[in-house]
Amino acid sequence: MRQGSVRGEGPLDSDPHAGEQGLDQDRFGEEDEGEPPRRSGRRPRRESGRARGPRRKRRIFRWIAGSLTVLVLAAAGLGYFYYEYLNNRIDTEQLPDDNRAPEATPNAAGQTPLNILVIGSDARDTEANQKLGGAKETFGGTPLADVQMLVHLSADRSNMSVISMPRDTLVEVPQCRDEKNDKTYPASNGRMMTNETLGRGGAACTVLTWEKLTGIRINHFMMVDFAGVVSMADAIGGVPVCVDANIHSRDSQGHGSGLRLEKGTTNIKGEQALQWLRTRYGFEDGSDIGRAKAQHMYMNSMVRELRENATLSNPGRLRSLAEEATDALTVDTGLDSVAKLYDLSKELRKVPPKHITMTTMPYEYQGARVVPKPDDAEQLFRLVREDIALDGDGGKKGGKGAGKKDSPEGEQEESADPKEPTSDDPAAQPAEIGVTVQNATGSDRQQAVQGRAHQVAQLLAGQGYSRATADNGATLSRARTTIRFPSAELEGDAQAVAKSLGLPMSSVRESKDVSTVTVVVGADWRSGEAPEQPKQDDRTPESADALNGADESACMHVDPNFTWE
């Protein structure tokens, strides 16, 4: 049958499904308004142009709408699969469940700070990591947490503080559980290097160790290896860094990262960025302290780059950064999706560089290693615990400032301090608690008060602590009076002693340096029945070597033994 013989007749035109499915014959070009009328004895059923026009347009619109719907659904499907693809690239580990530091108390506005532990692993568990890290004999060995930085985001998101801990810091490591290998590591007998924590239960053990040392509750962790640093540095597009002389980090024995830069500012990325972050030989005095300072400069510069350049507005670079970040990072299960990482990045981006402060934990040498400097380190940790800004605003930006309100007289009043956390373990009766008292009332400017330990022991005895004794052999010097206890089962006893002496719960800390509840009488209690209440000092210790995030003039000092002409 010729096609012309059915033109305009009922079957195709009356098919109810053709129009619904967008199968209008007109769209194939079969309509020809210039065709002469057919010769037939009956009147042709052809409709007028006025009638056919709207009908044809409706069919075309239906077809276009259907096609667009398919395209939108296809795009959404591709977006979903890409989103899932990125999610599947993220490795996760669980945060520890027990023996955690107390949760931060919300400020008056109900906001809480956010603490993230950033860990740089020296794992040589892949070919890429082995090539970048060298030391072939360590392939597949136990990884070390060679970079550790605590990032503190204030409750009101107005400032950010970072504390670096040198990898050779000696700390007390708590009992840790390795879930992957179904193994439990006992608490360290004394101090050990902090970078060994990663091999005693993964990032969770590093988190527990930080919490034990600082009393700061850590909400999340992010861990990256050698290859991850290189890939993310490439995705960002480079970070400018500065040295005050030509540098080549390599000595005659082959020690050093291999970093080679000319004097001045250089945009580094890829393997060169990793070399910068690992360089110890050639920076400052060749110690981990100098390396931490270089890492701070890199992070500050990277933050400025991410805020100022086109990386976050360039779709190609943004996609590359997303892919590299999700593949490079191991995070806790609370950050196990792109959406959660994106939300975290939005929170971090609220802080301008001028309110970002990089610090190094105050330290003192113990042989070839370092230990936290007793008073300065605790001061820095306290500022972070209390959400006080390190940028010189003295708490006006963090939790303290957010906790203030106008009084009727127009003066500023600080809200009442929250109840201090106490142990769930009940204390024994005072007569059953063994207490040792040590005299640490001396300082650089004055001698220790003779017999002070005996005086405080007698004071305790008068309050029912009949087993309190003085340790006259201790030679210590502490600015603040503290109470130490050796294990969790004695925490309640130590807190009871603190309460009896009028000391805050924050002065009570666990320590493997003692064998019983121990009162260390500091220079703040040289006389009387209670320690002096000095004016609160909310300044960042000078020994923290603070670096402001907006300081673009920072430049690493090069050891003359590692320069070149």
d(CA 469, CA 519): 10
The residues near 456 (Cβ < 8 Å, ≥ 6 apart) are 437, 470, 501, 519, 521, 525
Encoding tokens for residue 4? 């012309």
CB distance 164 to 358 below 8 Å: yes
DSSP per position, 25-93: GGGGT---TTSPPP--SS---PPPHHHHHHHHHHHHHHHHHHHHHHHHHHHHHHHHHHHHHHHHT-EEE
Which pairs count as long-range contacts for 382-385, CB under 8 Å and 24+ apart, including other chains? 382/506, 383/161, 383/538, 383/540, 384/115, 384/150, 384/152, 384/161, 384/163, 384/214, 384/216, 385/104, 385/214, 385/215, 385/216, 385/506
The model's pTM: 0.66
Look at residue 318 in the predicted model and tell me its pLDDT: 65
pLDDT in single tens digits along all 565 residues of the chain: 444 433 344 444 444 443 433 333 333 333 343 444 444 444 444 444 445 556 666 666 666 666 666 666 666 666 667 678 788 888 899 999 888 998 988 887 889 999 999 888 765 344 544 444 444 444 445 788 888 989 999 999 999 999 999 888 999 999 999 888 889 999 998 899 999 999 998 999 999 999 999 999 999 998 887 666 667 777 777 889 999 999 999 988 888 989 999 999 999 988 888 889 889 899 998 888 888 889 888 888 887 877 766 445 566 666 766 777 777 788 999 999 888 888 888 888 888 888 999 999 999 999 989 999 988 999 999 999 999 999 865 444 444 433 333 333 333 333 334 445 566 678 999 999 999 999 999 877 788 999 999 999 999 999 999 999 999 877 778 888 999 999 888 999 999 999 999 898 888 888 888 899 999 999 889 998 888 766 667 889 999 999 998 888 999 999 999 999 8
Region label for 155, one of left (φ > 0), alpha (ψ between -120 and 50) or beta (otherwise)? alpha
Encoding tokens for residue 111? 């906001």
Please name the fold of domain 92-395.
Answer: Aminopeptidase (3.40.630)
Burial letters 176-193, b for 16+ CB under 10 A, else e: bbeeeeeeebebbeebbb
Look at residue 393 in the predicted model and tell me its pLDDT: 52
The CA-based diameter of the chain, rounded to the nearest angstrom, is 133
- Three-class SS of residue 20? helix
d(CA 284, CA 261): 15
d(CA 524, CA 446): 12
Compute CA 519 distance to the chain's CA centroid, rounded to the nearest angstrom.
34
d(CA 555, CA 543): 19
The domain spans of the chain are 92-395, 430-537
Same CATH topology for 92-395 and 430-537: the answer is: no
Question: For residue 142, which of 173, 169, 180 has the smallest C-alpha distance?
Answer: 180
For the CA atoms of 290, 296, 298, 303, the dihedral, rounded to the nearest 10 degrees, stands at 180
- Between CA 122 and CA 131, with CA 125 as vertex, the angle to 5 degrees is 75
Q: Which CATH class is domain 430-537?
A: alpha beta
CB distance 517 to 483 below 8 Å: yes
d(CA 127, CA 111): 44
Look at residue 338 in the predicted model and tell me its pLDDT: 83
Q: Which residues pair with 509 in a beta bridge?
A: 484
Encoding tokens for residue 390? 């390190």
The DSSP call for residue 506 is G
The DSSP call for residue 431 is G
DSSP per position, 115-143: EEEEEEE----SHHHHHHH--GGGTT---
